[in-house]
Amino acid sequence: MQICRDACLVFFTIWLVYLTFEVETFQGTSCGSPGEVMNGRYDLTEGVEFGARVTAQCDKGHYIVGSKVRNCMAAGWSGRVAICEVVKCGAPPVVANGSLLYRAEESYAYREVVEYQCDRQLTLDGPRFLHCSETGEFEPNPPKCIDVTCPTPNIDKAFHVEGHIPPYKYKSFIRYECEKGYEMEGESGLTCEIDSRWSASYPTCKVSKDSNPEAENGFFSKIGDDIKGGLIWIFNKVPAVELKLPWMRK
């Protein structure tokens, strides 16, 4: 046991002397550049002289392959230059009643984008584009394909003057005007929104302050009756004329 202790002490002493000699000999010696990291860089905070350590850092969307640390030693930098490879995503999410605008690939590199479309008559609710993120997943969350249909408005004393006809789908626009003698309160134009509701409440047509449509209707009705009565009186006063052809005369 004593022999082992003595041997260990001797070995440790030799190693310490060698280390001290190496430090004194190579202290201040530069190892030079630790190398260029593609899609990354080395942190040179400790410098590039003997005893320094550098750590590889990858750009966003990339990850280290192999050792990321190199030490400046008597023979130069330890290890090999780090490699930063790009993050990849697998197949993009599947959307019910929808599909990718272009054929799906087996994998997608960081920041690559996919675009979605819905089947006919359906509306895309959510982002049209998804990208491969640094986590190896597509972001943001995938969209949904939904059926958007707004009801046909029923507005008393109003008529449709502009816009689409039923069925009213997403972004369909319509505009109404009130009948003569009425004025509109509310939005005259409506747009069908993603929740199958119109962009505003239905407008209302109220009697105009400057007119009385019921009185006007009664006035014109009275004029019509007077004209009709006058025509009847005229026809009653005109004597009947008997039409006879020459060969029918006696």
Strand, coil or helix: 58: strand
Look at residues 70, 86, 102 and tell me which one is the last residue of a structural domain: 86
Domain range for residue 118?
Answer: 88-146
Integer-rounded Cα Rg, in Å, for the chain is 45
The pLDDT, as a whole number, for residue 209 is: 83
Residues in the chain: 250
Is this prediction's pTM over 0.85? Answer: no
Judgement on whether residues 106 and 78 belong to the same structural domain of the protein: no
Q: For residue 233, is it within any domain?
A: no
Look at residues 58, 86, 114 and tell me which one is the last residue of a structural domain: 86
DSSP code, position 140? S
Count of domains for the chain: 3
Judgement on whether residues 197 and 164 belong to the same structural domain of the protein: yes
Look at residues 69, 86, 103 and tell me which one is the last residue of a structural domain: 86
Q: For residue 173, is it within any domain?
A: yes
Closest CA to 93 of 129, 53, 123, 60: 129
Judgement on whether residues 55 and 95 belong to the same structural domain of the protein: no
The CATH number assigned to the domain holding 177 equals 2.10.70.10
Judgement on whether residues 131 and 100 belong to the same structural domain of the protein: yes
Query: β-pairing, 138-139 with 113-118?
Result: unpaired
Per-residue pLDDT of the chain (250 residues; tens, 9 = 90+): 555 555 555 444 544 444 444 444 555 689 999 999 999 999 999 999 999 999 999 999 999 998 899 999 988 999 999 999 999 999 999 999 999 999 999 999 999 999 999 998 899 999 999 999 999 999 999 999 999 999 999 999 999 999 999 999 999 999 999 999 999 999 999 999 999 999 999 999 999 987 665 555 554 455 555 555 554 545 455 454 444 445 444 4
